[in-house]
Chains A and B, each alone.
Chain A
Amino acid sequence: MSGEPALKYEKVFGRPESLKDNYTHYCPGCGHSIAHRLVAECIDELGLREKTIGVPPVGCAVLAYNYFNFDMIEAPHGRPLALATGIKRTVPDKFVFTYQGDGDLAAIGTAETIHAANRGERISTVFINNAIYGMTGGQMAPTTLLGQEATTTPGGRDARYHGQPIDISRMLAVCDGVVYIERCSLSGVKQIRSAKRAIKKAFRCQLDDLGFALVELLSPCPTNWKMSPKQAWEWVNKVMVNTYPLGVIKDTTGYED
């Protein structure tokens, strides 16, 4: 800008150390990329990178070890919480988290999810709910909304035929071993800021040895919803939240936000 004295700039937003520099395979506008960054920021801000072991899902995020800059181990589909249990019980001083999608956590992995939560494992789980199976091309997920079209629900999900969308977060809240569950979304500035706060709080539950914590993130999936990224945000904010309302589902942490 002419006429002004040369300004010195400092960087106020950049890539967190826990996120590698690699180009991601995620679609334009995908919630995964944002969620990865938030997780990486929280791990950096809590100083956890060098003692973190992460377990990604089978799903779009199966290659998460190419993006996160710490130790990771692949798991069979649905089993991250079983692996994480084995890891955390073996090296309890490390920070262990799982990052799972709706099929991984609430379909094939339901038993492992419920029991790790019920045992109160000191593990933090980031649950990405995009109401559809992304990696395999758009089939129905347990969280697919009624009336939502998926490749295996032509004509839309029908309650009688396919069952209602499952609210695994509320189901898990019943378990005493669970200390914190919150549902946030990645569909806007406000929402992303709130999601980061929730992720950090869930991580603190492990650091303070309180119990199992889970953050569910309603995540835009423009490709499989057949929308633009902006429309996907609107769909989350206007439609998805009616089935999956945002907010705290359980909080016995005693933390003051």
Chain B
Amino acid sequence: MNLKTLDKSTWRGYFTASLNYEQRQKNGSFQMAQNKKKGKIIVDRERCKGCYLCIEVCPFHIIEVDQELNRKGYHPARPKEDISEDGKGCTACTMCALVCPEVAIEVYRAK
């Protein structure tokens, strides 16, 4: 893999994903995640068509399938309500919105 051709976000992802959970807790990068700016997403449930590509790509698995149907008969995706308090929440990486075909996801990052 030619590291020079990776763009910045992929490089960061490669770095953090290669470390396991315990190592991260030990060497403080977990602290970094906690101090990372918080993010949140809003999914337009009537616009969502249930392709679940957002669930596929979310690195922190904070999106789930809503058991209630929307008006078109899809089970839309939605951010999990019980996102844990230990920092493994949304970081506004925008990958979900990037892959959403319907532009149904708005992403907000804490200032």
Chain A residues with CB under 8 Å of chain B are 1-2, 7-15, 19, 23-24, 26-34, 37, 188-190, 192-193, 222, 229-230, 233
Chain B residues with Cβ below 8 Å from A30 are 101
User: Nearest 4 pairs between A and B by C-beta?
Assistant: A33-B101, A29-B51, A28-B49, A9-B108
Chain A residues with Cβ below 8 Å from B111 are 7-10
Considering the chains assembled together, what is the distance between the CA atoms of A7 and B111 in angstroms? 7
From B23-31, B60-68, B92-100, the one touching the partner chain is B92-100
Give the contacting residue for A24; candidates B7, B10, B40, B102; CB below 8 A. Answer: B102
Give, as a whole number of angstroms, the nearest-CB distance from A42 to chain B: 14
- Assess the B110–A233 pair: CB atoms within 8 A: no
Chain B residues with Cβ below 8 Å from A37 are 101, 103
Given contacts A8-B111, A189-B57, A189-B95, contact A13 B105 (CB under 8 A): yes
Considering the chains assembled together, what is the distance between the CA atoms of A13 and B52 in angstroms? 18
- Assess the B53–A230 pair: CB atoms within 8 A: yes
B43 within 8 A of A: no
The total of chain B residues at the interface (CB under 8 A) is 36
Known: A14-B106, A188-B57. 7 other contacts (CB 8 A): A1-B85, A10-B108, A11-B107, A13-B94, A23-B47, A189-B95, A192-B99
Chain A residues with Cβ below 8 Å from B95 are 189
Considering the chains assembled together, what is the distance between the CA atoms of A15 and B108 in angstroms? 13
Given contacts A9-B109, A10-B109, A192-B98, contact A15 B103 (CB under 8 A): yes
Considering the chains assembled together, what is the distance between the CA atoms of A8 and B98 in angstroms? 23
Task: Mark B15-53 against chain A: 1 for CB-CB distance below 8 A, else 0.
Answer: 000000000000000000000001110000011011111
Given contacts A12-B94, A190-B10, contact A29 B101 (CB under 8 A): yes
Chain A residues with Cβ below 8 Å from B99 are 34, 188-189, 192
Chain B residues with Cβ below 8 Å from A11 are 106-108
Give the contacting residue for A33; candidates B74, B83, B97, B102; CB below 8 A. Answer: B102
Considering the chains assembled together, what is the distance between the CA atoms of A8 and B74 in angstroms? 32
Chain B residues with Cβ below 8 Å from A33 are 101-103
Considering the chains assembled together, what is the distance between the CA atoms of A7 and B9 in angstroms? 24
Give the contacting residue for B40; candidates A2, A9, A188, A190; CB below 8 A. Answer: A9
- Assess the B52–A12 pair: CB atoms within 8 A: no
Considering the chains assembled together, what is the distance between the CA atoms of A138 and B3 in angstroms? 40
